[in-house]
Structure 1
C-alpha cells in the first residue's frame, strides 16, 4: 500500500545515519529486504545539522573559563589596593550578575553557547567569592574545605538549573576535594586507597540513579567512577603503600557513610542489573584495600617470591578491572571508559614492570623485559576486548540522547 502522505526526512546524528546505512546494505546483501525498501528507509532520514557554530560555542566557553579563572586568580593575588569588604562586594556582585544573567538568557531562549558561557562564569565566580570570603575571615586560602564549599555550590547550581556547565565545575572541584580533605591533617597511603575506592562507589551509584533521568550527568558520574576505581587499584598496587595503616578521621567516616548511602539509594530506586555497577565498585574498594594491606618488605634490592606473587596478583586484578570497564563502556555506549581502561592498563603495566624487574635487570635488558611484558599484556587485553565486543554484539551507535538537561 502506497503512503498518501509524504513524511519529511527525520534529522539524526551523522554517526547514527552512517551506521543505519551500513546495516541496510548488510540486510540487502542477506536478502532480508529489497534494494527499493532499503532506499525508501534511507530517504526517511537525513544528517542532523547543528544550529550553532561549533567554533563560536567553543570560543565562548573557553573565554568564560579564562575570565572565571582570572577572577579566582585575582582573589588569590589578594587585590591589596581594595579593602576586604570592597573586594568581597565586587566579587559577589560579579557572581550575581553572571548567575542572574545566565538564567535570564536561558529564559529568553538565547543561544545555548551564550547561556553556557554565562553559567560557566557564574560557577567559576562562585569559587572566587568563596576564596574572597575566606580571606576576609582570615581563613587560609589553601584549606581544602573551601574547595568543598565551591564544589557543593556549583553542583547545587547545576542541579537546580539542569545545566551541565556548573555541574561540570562542581564535579571537577569535588573530585579534587574528595581525597584531599581527609588527608589534610595526616597522610596515609591506605587511607588514600580507601577514599578513592569510596569515591568510585559514590560516583557509580550516582550514575545509576541518574540513568534515564539525566543521562549527561550519568555519563559524567560514570566517568568519575571509572577514574576513581582505576586510581584506587593503581595506588593499592604500590609496594608497601599500606604499611602505615589507615588513619581514621571524621571526614573519612563521613565519606564512607555517604558512599554507602548512595549505593543503598541506587539499590532501592533502580533495582535490577544496573546495581552491579556500584556492587563492582564496592568490590574494587575491598580488593584495593586488601592489596594495599599486603606488605612484602620495602627493600627494593631484594625482590623475593612474595614480591613476584603480589605483583602478579596486582596485574591480574587490574587487568580484570580494565576488562570490566571495557564491557561497561560497550553496554552503556560510553567509549571514554574503553580509552581510560586501556591507557590506565598501559601505564600500570609499565609501572609494575619497572617496580619488579628494575632491581633484577638493568640497562638494555630492562627495556627488553619491559617490552615483552608490555606486548604480552597488550595482546591479551586486545583479545579480551574483541571477545567482549563479539559476545555483547553492541553496534557502534552514538550515545542515545538522554533526558533533556540544558545543553549549556
Structure 2
C-alpha cells in the first residue's frame, strides 16, 4: 500500500491527537494504528527523505561529470575526424539513456536512473550544436535550445524526475530570453525582426505543470510558474510595445497573487504563485511609492501600449475571479452541500482572500490609465503607498489565516521596508525628524489597529464555532 507523505512535525502532532482521541474513547487502538499507518512508519519517512537527498546530490554530481566530459571532448575535438565525432556524440547519448532505462525498469534503482537520464539530456543538448558543426548546418542559438527542450521533455515526464523538469524549465527560460528580448542586446537592434514572442512556451510548459499538480509538487509548480511568469513579463518587450513595462510587471505580480487565492485554502501549490507575486508586486510598489521616480521615469512610457497592457491584466483578473467562483460552486454542488451554500460570482468579488489581489490588479490598471491620460505623479505616489500598506497587512492576515510564519514575517518586513523608505523621504525633504516621528507613530497605531481587528475577529469565530 502506498503511504502518504507527511512531515515529521505533522506526524508527531497527529500521533499525539490519536492518543488523546483513544483516551477519550473516540477511537480504538486498532483504528488509531491503521490511521497512522496511512502515513508510513518512521523508517519509511526517513528512507524517503534520504532518497530525495541522494537524488538531489546525484543530479548535481551528474551535471558536473557531464560538463567535465563535454570539456574533455571539446579539448580534443578539432583533431578528431568528422565520422568519429558523430559516433562519440550519439553513443554517449544513447548509452546514458539505455543505462537509465536498465537501472529504472530492470534493477529498480530510481536515483541512479534519473542521474543517467539527466546526463543523457545534457549530451543531447551538446549533440545538437556539435552535429550542426560537423555538417555545416546553421543553427540559431534560440532554435537549438528549443530542440533541446523538446527532446528532453519526454524523459522528464517519463522519469518523473524533479531535476530533469528543472533542466527543461531552465532550457525553455533561456530560449524565451533569446527569442523575445535577445534583439535588445544584439548589435542589429530592432531592425532585425519585428518580434518573436515564443508562442510554443505555454504549450511546452503545460505538460510539466500538469505533472506537478498531479504529484502535488510545490517545487515542480514553482519551476514552471517561474518559466511562464518570465514568458508573460517579456511579451510587451518582444512586441516592441514597451521597453520598460513597469505597470505590466506589477499587474502580472498581482495576477499571480490572485491565482494563488483561487487555489483551495492552505494549498501548498499556491505558495509559488504567492511568492513570485509578492516579489514582483512589492518591488514595483517600492518604485512607484517614490515621488521622484514617478516624476522622472513614468513620463517616458508610451500611452497606447500602457493602456493595452493594463486593460488586458484587468480583464484577466475579472475572468479569474469568475472562473474561481464557478469552480467553487461546482465543488460545493458535487460535495452535496447544494446550490444554496455554493459561493456566487458576486460574493467571489467580495471574498476577503481575493479582495486585495484583485484590488492591486485594478490599481495597476488605473495607474497606467492615469499616467497615459494625465501624467501627474502625485496621485500614483499616494496610491502606491496605500497599496504597500494594504499588501503588507494582507500578507500578515494570510499568515494568521493559514497559520504559517513566512507570509506573516514577509508582511512585517515589507511594512518595515515601507516605513524606512518613507522615513528617508520625510527626513530628507518633507518634515525632518518631527515628520518622521509622526510617521512612526502612525505606523505603530496602524499595527495596533490590525492586532485589535484580528483579536475581535478571532473572538467572533470562536463564538460562532
TM-score by length of 2: 0.52
Corresponding residue for residue 178 of structure 1: 231
Corresponding residue for residue 224 of structure 1: 272
Corresponding residue for residue 383 of structure 2: 310
Match of 1:106 among 100, 104, 107: 104
Residues 202 and 42 of structure 1: CA distance in aligned 2, closer, same or farther (over 3 Å): closer
- The one-character-per-residue Cα deviations of 1:173-200 (angstroms, maximum 9, x if unpaired) are 7257425643466232123224444556
Match of 2:249 among 178, 189, 192: 192
Corresponding residue for residue 5 of structure 1: none
- Please show how residues 280-299 of structure 1 align to structure 2 within 5 Å: 284-291=360-367
| Structure with more of its chain in helix, by fraction | 2
Secondary structure of the 1:33 match is coil
Secondary structure of the 1:358 match is helix
The answer on whether the counterparts of 1:200 and 1:226 sit within 8 Å (CA) in structure 2 is yes
- The one-character-per-residue Cα deviations of 1:48-67 (angstroms, maximum 9, x if unpaired) are 32273745652442342354
Secondary structure of the 2:425 match is coil
Match of 1:349 among 386, 392, 415: 415
The question of 1:65 aligning with 2:60 is answered yes
- The one-character-per-residue Cα deviations of 1:9-47 (angstroms, maximum 9, x if unpaired) are x99854444223332454478xx428xx66555555464
Secondary structure of the 2:395 match is helix
CA offset at residue 318 of structure 1? 0.7
Residues 288 and 108 of structure 1: CA distance in aligned 2, closer, same or farther (over 3 Å): farther
- The one-character-per-residue Cα deviations of 1:291-322 (angstroms, maximum 9, x if unpaired) are 56666866xxxxx7x57742542134313542
Secondary structure of the 2:25 match is coil
Match of 2:43 among 49, 53, 56: 49
CA offset at residue 234 of structure 1? 1.1
The answer on whether the counterparts of 2:129 and 2:139 sit within 8 Å (CA) in structure 1 is no
Secondary structure of the 2:426 match is coil
Separation in structure 2 between the aligned mates of residue 114 and residue 234 of structure 1, nearest angstrom: 41
Q: Name the larger-Rg structure.
A: 2
Match of 2:426 among 360, 385, 390: 360
The answer on whether the counterparts of 2:427 and 2:436 sit within 8 Å (CA) in structure 1 is no
- The one-character-per-residue Cα deviations of 1:312-334 (angstroms, maximum 9, x if unpaired) are 4213431354256447856xxxx
Residues 114 and 43 of structure 1: CA distance in aligned 2, closer, same or farther (over 3 Å): same
The size of the alignment, in residue pairs, is: 352
Separation in structure 2 between the aligned mates of residue 26 and residue 192 of structure 1, nearest angstrom: 50
The answer on whether the counterparts of 2:128 and 2:144 sit within 8 Å (CA) in structure 1 is yes
The question of 1:322 aligning with 2:395 is answered yes
Structure 1 unpaired stretches of 5+? 1-9, 212-217, 299-303, 394-408
Residues 226 and 33 of structure 1: CA distance in aligned 2, closer, same or farther (over 3 Å): same
Corresponding residue for residue 139 of structure 1: 140
The question of 1:167 aligning with 2:165 is answered yes
Secondary structure of the 1:228 match is helix
CA offset at residue 232 of structure 1? 3.6
Residues 242 and 352 of structure 1: CA distance in aligned 2, closer, same or farther (over 3 Å): farther
Residues 204 and 311 of structure 1: CA distance in aligned 2, closer, same or farther (over 3 Å): closer
RMSD: 5.8
CA offset at residue 358 of structure 1? 0.6
Higher relative contact order (CA 8 A, sep 6+): 1
The answer on whether the counterparts of 1:57 and 1:114 sit within 8 Å (CA) in structure 2 is no
